[in-house]
Amino acid sequence: MKTRVAWLDSKHSFSFGEHYDPDNTHHGLLLVNNEDIVSPGQGFDTHPHRDMEIVTWVLSGSLVHQDSLGHSGVVYPGLAQRMSAGTGILHSEKNDSWRLAADRGGTGEHTEPVHFVQMWVVPDEPGLTPGYQQLEIDEELAGGGLVTVASGLPRYRDRTAIAIASSHSALHAARMAVPGRARSVELPEAPYLHLFVARGEVEMEGVGTLYEGDAVRLTRSGGQRIVANLPSEVLVWEMHARLGGQ
């Protein structure tokens, strides 16, 4: 499913907005996996969310976040970012390429699109206090293995970059086949897994070749090896419950 307007090219793994398919609403606790490309100088104006854990992962360019609770930040590749909508929050997301242009000695004009993946998972309970968190993890990604980006799972408490209020979910990321980094990772075992190839091309054991933008949903699985054929970036949701119960 796709949404394409003058300033936005968006691909949806699940039902989103006007694209509704009753047979494709979620996997495990993951409700949204949107791959967005936003044109220079454009973005999402202020809009509301509630009762959702929202994780944003930038692949290229930069995205500026501002919300009604006074949180603000610039999200760029290698920065983990989470917004807990809870009882309700308003926020905007804009292409921040002017900042990059200015940093490089340019005029400060909007010059680059921003390419990112936004993912929503269900929190443990409704009505939580809204919140925001971001953390630089580029150094941790340098090894090429799976890095735990966001998690509520107790097993990852000591190695999680940012916390989410979903005690059955964890998001992992890996950059593979970059010079000096590992070419393969092994998927964790879980009742529900969602693998998204954000960049590059990989081979998945038992499945075959996956290309940029491909996603795989697995149940009662794990242990499969993912091997990168070229520089690649993958996002893996590990989930131990599903919407509506275990």
- pLDDT cut 90: percent of the chain above it: 70
pLDDT at 106 over 90: no
Residue 178's pLDDT is: 76
pLDDT at 184 over 60: yes
Mean pLDDT of the region 5-30 = 90
Is residue 73 assigned to a domain? Answer: yes
Q: What is the CATH number of the domain that holds 100?
A: 2.60.120.10
Is residue 245 assigned to a domain? Answer: no
Ramachandran category for residue 43: left, alpha or beta (phi over 0 → left; psi -120 to 50 → alpha): left
Is residue 47 assigned to a domain? Answer: yes
pTM recorded for the entire structure: 0.92
Range of the domain at 40: 2-239
Is residue 246 assigned to a domain? Answer: no
Residue 244's pLDDT is: 79
Residue 42's pLDDT is: 86
Is residue 115 assigned to a domain? Answer: yes
pLDDT at 97 over 70: no
Residue 154's pLDDT is: 94
Residue 17's pLDDT is: 78
Mean pLDDT of the region 181-189 = 91
Q: Output the known binding site for Fe cation.
A: 47, 49, 91, 93
Residue 104's pLDDT is: 46
pLDDT at 182 over 70: yes
pLDDT digits (tens, 9 = 90+) for 112-138: 899 999 999 999 999 999 999 999 999
Confidence of residue 102 (pLDDT cuts 50, 70, 90): very low
Is residue 106 assigned to a domain? Answer: yes
Q: Which of 9-18, 70-79, 81-90, 98-107 is the least confident region?
A: 98-107
Is residue 181 assigned to a domain? Answer: yes
Is residue 244 assigned to a domain? Answer: no
pLDDT at 45 over 60: yes
Mean pLDDT of the region 230-244 = 95
pLDDT at 99 over 60: no
For the chain, the domain total comes to 1
Q: Are 145 and 182 in contact (CB under 8 A)?
A: yes
Residue 205's pLDDT is: 95
Mean pLDDT of the region 89-106 = 68
Q: Output the known binding site.
A: 47, 49, 91, 93
Confidence of residue 191 (pLDDT cuts 50, 70, 90): very high
